[in-house]
Amino acid sequence: MTDPRVVMTVAAVILTLCSAPASAADPTSELVARGKYVFGAAGGCACHTPPEALGLNAGGMKFELLFGVVYSGNITPDPETGIGRWTDAQVTNAIRRGERPDGSRLFPIHPYEYFATIADDEARALVAYLKSVRPIRSSVPARSLRIPTPTIRVGPAPKEAPRGGPERGEYLAGGAAHCADCHTPRRFNGSQDAAKFLAGGPGPEGSLPANITPHLETGIGRWTEAQIARFLRTGVKPSGQEAFSLMRVVIKGTSAGYKDLTEADAAAIARYLKTVPAIENRVR
Binding interface with ligand HEC (CB under 6 A)? 43, 173, 177-179, 181-183, 203, 207, 209-210, 212, 220, 228, 231-232, 237, 243-247, 250, 269, 273
Straight-line distance from the first to the last Cα atom of the chain, in angstroms, rounded to the nearest whole number: 84
For the CB of residue 18, give the shortest distance to ligand HEC in the complex, in Å: 41
Residue nearer to ligand HEC on the CB measure, 187 or 222: 222
Angle at 51 between CA 74 and CA 188, to 5 degrees: 75
Among 52, 202, 43, 178, which residue's Cα sits nearest to residue 62?
A: 52
Q: Give how far Cα 168 sits from Cα of 81, 106, 117, 179, Å.
A: 35, 28, 12, 14
Residue nearer to ligand HEC on the CB measure, 100 or 237: 237
For the CB of residue 184, give the shortest distance to ligand HEC in the complex, in Å: 10
Angle at 149 between CA 210 and CA 195, to 5 degrees: 35
Cβ–Cβ under 8 Å, residues 179 and 212 = yes
Among 175, 245, 234, which residue's Cα sits nearest to residue 210?
A: 245
Q: Which amino acid is at 281?
A: N
For the CB of residue 268, give the shortest distance to ligand HEC in the complex, in Å: 10
Residue nearer to ligand HEC on the CB measure, 23 or 239: 239
Residue nearer to ligand HEC on the CB measure, 36 or 178: 178
For the CB of residue 233, give the shortest distance to ligand HEC in the complex, in Å: 11
Residue nearer to ligand HEC on the CB measure, 185 or 203: 203
Angle at 68 between CA 67 and CA 70, to 5 degrees: 125
For the CB of residue 217, give the shortest distance to ligand HEC in the complex, in Å: 11
